[in-house]
Amino acid sequence: MNKSQLKTNSHSLTAKFIHWGFIAVFGYALTKQVDEVEELEDFSLLQFEMAFASVFLILLVARYIYMHSTLPTVLSTDTSNSVKLMARSTHLAMYISLSMIAVSGLMIGGLYWSGIKSGVAMDIALWLHEISVNTSFFLIGLHILAAIYHRLMNDGIWSSMVPFWKEGPGK
């Protein structure tokens, strides 16, 4: 694609702030994660984890609503339907997997809070949590690869959300 064909649509500063801010929140969650479920014996940690998962879920839902009600895509109108479907599916799958991290974490915390510290229900909740985290990592990696692809294609998609290493005229 030549520079005259670059897309001019861009996400708003608010959308960029929400996108990058959510990355910071997710990064924080990864750095303070509970390593072993037995750590939830500490009631203050259990309360914090339950509150954090709730806030994480609320922020994720708010992000989804905002992003889909403002500028749902910056893909050009000549983008193939299969690419649009793949992009939408990947984004939706990321929202679902990230929300399932919080939901399964709340399930674990709720079970632990109610005295159920082992057994089938806890095993299922822990399995859901692990699958959700691993799926999120995979989808985030796919999202990053797609962003890099668009940067290399110089089609304007990268610059619509990324505040550095701008592409195109005037950068």
- Annotated domain spans of the chain: 39-71+79-171
* Rounded Cα gap, residues 56 and 26, in angstroms: 8
Amino acid at residue number 104: S
* Rounded Cα gap, residues 21 and 54, in angstroms: 17
* Rounded Cα gap, residues 30 and 101, in angstroms: 11
Q: Mind listing the pLDDT tens digit of every residue in the chain (171 residues)?
A: 444 344 446 677 787 788 888 889 999 989 988 888 899 999 999 999 999 999 999 999 988 998 888 866 777 777 788 888 888 899 899 999 999 999 999 999 999 999 999 999 999 999 999 999 999 999 999 989 988 888 888 777 777 777 666 665 544
Helices 120-153 and 81-113 cross at an angle (nearest 10°) of 150
pTM for the whole structure: 0.82
